[in-house]
């Protein structure tokens, strides 16, 4: 049966475009009113289509975000304890989270999503664990804070994968939650009810709805299995994200509890597959790298936060040796920049291995090209966005894309592939990004989002109010 004709709603011509198979010349892209690409045609004449101001790239999915923490970034860079660590940082983060309101969350998230768009992200996976009011009681609308995030994404114009977080215990073995975790706590039945209530709102703005069991220390085994079965019954393709093996203490505590390492335990007790995103996973043994990669799950890497918190280095080379998929996120938002996450990931591998250009591959000697294509593919999979076997600028995909500024001093006079390399490794990153589209709609023009100033002012006010309440 022939598909019905759908009219062309938008078009763009790029002299150079990074397609799933690599770089192509003279590419004409056309999309329909829903923002789906109808044609991606190399070797075309531009016709009347607008011209991209530089090389065209697929938009980068951000596969891990805690939006409220953007207002907290930079405020913990002092030694609070004689031995400062992730765990002391977490205590400070809980203090800050205690004062977030629905209004402040929406303002913070709106600015963050504007920042993400200006920095090359076209979608975000929001790992959302702040559910209740400051007393730990449900709001009159139990989905109040989820709706705040949905509104923020819609206002900014970023694609959203909303992942409400299941959080029940403070440690392995069913330890009772701490008082400062009261805003996070939901029963499994309550979480599944929340997902049912959010389904129509998410669908209305074409957001993807999934589930995030916070971690093995926060979700007991029976609850984890019940929640996975429940979300699967609601939506068989829904993404499932989990923090796993982030810290050495987490690994040690898991072994003390179960006799197994976290990733090992997860793979032995839960049906992990390609819907899953294993966030961080910085502490794995070779057998865990091999077994986890075989499931098809995506490794969710957040190099700037993993460095900021002293998590550790993911062995990306070993993961790729097992054909593992991966993507990048900004997590606590110490850095909000897609290109910088790629740079930091590569630099971490260089420091660990004392080599250069570690993440190049046989198909792409340029590291930036190889990493961009892999991160887009893995990020799209983790986000549950329209992958269709290929991620990026291909027919059937969403027209999420960005154009570099060919006149930027760091890029000018170079060929397209070297422009991308200079963008990632030798520019101020976001300064070299000129334009960005989400579903074919221009969201960044000449490096700026239309709501930049307005959203920034609201963010500053929300941050000041939150700090004052502490």
Torsions phi, psi of 89, nearest 5? -60, -40
Going by C-beta distance under 8 Å and a sequence separation of 6 or more, which residues neighbour residue 137? none
Q: Is 64 a catalytic residue?
A: no
Strand partners of residue 436:
402, 444
Please return the burial class of 193, using the count of CB atoms within 10 Å of its CB with bins 0-12, 13-18 and 19+.
Answer: middle
List, in order, residues 6 or more apart from 52 with CB less than 8 Å away.
12, 13, 14, 15, 17, 403, 435
State how far the Cα of 323 lies from the Cα of 317, in Å rounded to an integer. 10
Options 243, 280, 408, 449, the catalytic residue: 280
All residues at 6 or more sequence positions from 4 whose CB lies less than 8 Å from its CB, including other chains: none
The tokens 């008082």 sit on which residue? Answer: 179
CB-based burial label for 3 (10 Å; 0-12, 13-18, 19+): exposed
Q: Is 331 an annotated catalytic residue?
A: yes
Catalytic residue among 214, 241, 243, 331: 331
Which of 383, 404, 405, 397 minimizes the C-alpha distance to 438?
397
Closest listed residue to residue 185, CA positions, set 166, 213, 210: 166
* Sheet arrangement for strand 240-244: 240-244, 276-280, 298-301, 325-328
Handedness of CA 116, 121, 122, 128 (dihedral sign): negative
Q: Two tokens at 95? A: 């203090």
Terminal-to-terminal C-alpha distance of the chain? 63
- Residues labelled catalytic: 280, 331
């Amino acid at each position: 049966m022939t598909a019905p004709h759908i009219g062309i709603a938008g078009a763009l011509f790029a002299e150079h475009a990074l397609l799933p198979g690599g770089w192509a010349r003279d590419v004409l892209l056309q999309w329909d009113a829903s923002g789906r690409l109808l044609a991606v045609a190399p070797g075309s004449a531009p016709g009347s289509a607008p011209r991209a101001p530089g090389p065209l790239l697929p938009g980068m999915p951000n596969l891990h975000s805690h939006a409220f923490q953007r207002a907290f970034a930079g405020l913990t860079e002092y030694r609070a304890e004689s031995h400062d660590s992730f765990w002391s940082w977490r205590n400070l983060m809980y203090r800050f989270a205690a004062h977030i309101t629905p209004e402040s969350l929406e303002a913070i998230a709106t600015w963050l999503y504007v920042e993400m768009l200006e920095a090359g992200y076209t979608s975000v996976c929001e790992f959302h664990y702040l559910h209740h009011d400051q007393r730990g009681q449900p709001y009159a609308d139990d989905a109040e804070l989820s709706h705040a995030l949905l509104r923020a994404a819609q206002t900014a114009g970023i694609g959203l994968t909303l992942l409400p977080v299941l959080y029940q215990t403070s440690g392995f073995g069913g330890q009772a939650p701490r008082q400062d975790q009261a805003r996070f706590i939901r029963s499994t039945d309550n979480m599944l009810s929340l997902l049912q209530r959010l389904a129509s709102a998410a669908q209305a703005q074409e957001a993807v709805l999934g589930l995030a069991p916070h971690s093995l220390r926060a979700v007991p085994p029976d609850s984890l299995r019940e929640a996975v079965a429940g979300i699967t019954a609601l939506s068989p393709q829904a993404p499932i994200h989990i923090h796993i093996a982030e810290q050495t203490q987490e690994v040690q505590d898991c072994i003390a509890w179960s006799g197994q390492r976290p990733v090992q335990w997860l793979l032995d007790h839960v049906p992990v597959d390609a819907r899953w995103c294993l966030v961080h996973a910085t502490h794995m043994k070779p057998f865990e790298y091999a077994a986890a990669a075989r499931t098809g799950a995506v490794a969710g890497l957040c190099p700037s936060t993993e460095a900021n918190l002293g998590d550790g280095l993911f062995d990306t080379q070993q993961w790729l040796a097992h054909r593992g998929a991966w993507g990048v996120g900004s997590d606590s938002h110490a850095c909000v920049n897609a290109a910088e996450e790629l740079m930091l990931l590569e630099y971490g591998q260089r420091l660990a291995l004392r080599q250069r250009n570690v993440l190049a591959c046989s198909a792409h000697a340029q590291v930036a090209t190889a990493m961009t294509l892999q991160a887009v593919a893995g990020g799209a999979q983790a986000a549950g966005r329209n992958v269709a076997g290929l991620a990026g600028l291909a027919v059937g995909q969403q027209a999420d894309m960005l154009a570099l500024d060919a006149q930027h001093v760091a890029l000018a006079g170079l060929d397209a592939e070297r422009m991308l390399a200079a963008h990632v490794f030798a520019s101020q990153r976001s300064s070299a990004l000129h334009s960005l589209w989400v579903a074919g709609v221009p969201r960044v023009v000449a490096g700026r989002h239309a709501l930049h100033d307005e959203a920034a002012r609201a963010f500053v006010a929300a941050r000041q109010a939150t700090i004052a309440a502490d």
